[in-house]
Structure 1
């Protein structure tokens, strides 16, 4: 099983490049960035393009891009361009989002976001053919993973995607993964869907900063629940890795809510020692 890192909201170029350089030089598989509109985070597609030029090996992933906030032809061109210029290292983690303020600023109806995403996915694959919007992605499309947990959202994995990003509460994660695998088989898709599990992990040297950032991002009262579930000890980190392996995950993304690039080295050391 591969292990990647998620970065929350780092808009400092030097710090981002330090994170990327350390992760790329080590054994981590992916660098992931979240997406919001009304929040002080760097825009993920722009930021990942910077990281693509600063790295050689590591994959680059949105986790997850809020597609309904974007115009589909431009999104198709941006994703295809990043896929090509990164040498095929881009994964489009995609979802609908649910923050009212994001949708209000974008002028998009929150209530129709699911239907909008379904239309967008059909259009994206048409546009990625290269017949209308170029350049075409390297392999027909970037890898597409859906961040999902509701039934309609889970159904998109077998219909449009390559796999699932399973985040959120651990107690319902097994059923979500099982549902996606069942739907994949029922749809006649070959092989198995790719399963990526996401957990929040920041080792104790930076855990206080991480919890502050979690609370700022999620707000009351949910932020306290997320902060309380933050994995901050080597024992918790190794247990999460074992749980993800037991679930048959292909990759575990450790979302780190600290800006300290020393977390890359410290987490790598825990994994190596475990």
Structure 2
């Protein structure tokens, strides 16, 4: 099982150091969250910059809110990122559940799932080199990865998880080990039900912080702010893993459930956490 790092979003200026140190430590992936109406770095721009500072670590969105974006430009941006990263880019996708993000983008939150499915069909066509229409040619560049970047789908409802099999992507589970197992099984059933061979890549997420109390306090404040909209902010902060034993135990539980990778999301901005986490998990 691979271990990746979810990058903190509070200080974009520190992210090149995070990327270089994470790759040197042996982490498999770097993940980045997406919001529109929030003080976070735009993930595609940021991961493109980090692609230039690294050589082999995967770069993945977790998750990009595709319905907020115009699909032809998104096809070009993601193919470009896949190309310049040498095929290291993983496109994690979700629909977004925050009214303000959809208000700011001028999109209808009530049709976000349908919009994502329409976008996926167009993205696949454009990544394969097909023309946009009878009167409009292809949109390049061609991605390094045949058929387009690897896809991950986040979500909790059956219709969202069924995209794993329908579109041939992996599953991103932002759920605790105690209840993630059922979601994993839904993803596997979708995969086999749509006639896919093998098994889907399953990526789990854990919110973590490892360091002195002031860093724990900083991370807790960041989690409370990020999840304030949800009504579950206190729960998310209280369940953040803050000790080596908690982190190692949760990773073992995900390993037992058959996860392909666990992403350790860091809300504290101090990059020395990377070495502390590597000592435990790598």
Q: TM-score range by the shorter chain?
A: over 0.9
Match of 2:134 in 1: none
Match of 1:215 in 2: 224
Distance 1:11 1:259 in 2: 7
Q: CA deviation at 1:11?
A: 4.1
Q: CA deviation at 1:181?
A: 0.6
Q: CA deviation at 1:183?
A: 1.7
Match of 1:197 in 2: 204
Residue of structure 2 aligned with 1:147, choices 149, 154, 164? 154
Match of 2:133 in 1: none
Match of 2:2 in 1: 2
Distance 2:151 2:65 in 1: 13
Residue of structure 1 aligned with 2:250, choices 219, 237, 240? 240
- Does 1:135 find its partner at 2:124? no
CA RMSD of aligned residues (A): 1.1
Distance 2:103 2:248 in 1: 41
> What is the DSSP-based 3-state SS (H/G/I as helix, E as strand, rest coil) of the residue aligned with 1:35?
coil
> What is the DSSP-based 3-state SS (H/G/I as helix, E as strand, rest coil) of the residue aligned with 1:136?
coil
Match of 1:97 in 2: 96
Distance 1:171 1:122 in 2: 34
Deviations 1:70-89 (A, max 9, x none): 00000000000000100000
Match of 2:273 in 1: 263
147-156 or 220-229, which moves further after superposition?
220-229
Contact 2:177 2:253 in 1 (8 A): no
- Does 1:230 find its partner at 2:231? no
Distance 1:3 1:239 in 2: 14
Q: TM-score, normalised by structure 2?
A: 0.93
- Does 1:251 find its partner at 2:261? yes
Distance 1:186 1:41 in 2: 37
> What is the DSSP-based 3-state SS (H/G/I as helix, E as strand, rest coil) of the residue aligned with 1:133?
coil
> What is the DSSP-based 3-state SS (H/G/I as helix, E as strand, rest coil) of the residue aligned with 1:190?
coil
> What is the DSSP-based 3-state SS (H/G/I as helix, E as strand, rest coil) of the residue aligned with 1:54?
coil
Gaps of 5+ in 1: none
Match of 1:74 in 2: 73
Match of 1:162 in 2: 169
Q: CA deviation at 1:24?
A: 1.1
Contact 1:8 1:41 in 2 (8 A): no
Aligned residues: 271
Contact 1:29 1:58 in 2 (8 A): yes
Contact 1:210 1:258 in 2 (8 A): yes
**Runs of 4+, deviation exceeding 6 Å:** none
Contact 2:222 2:267 in 1 (8 A): yes
Q: CA deviation at 1:161?
A: 3.2
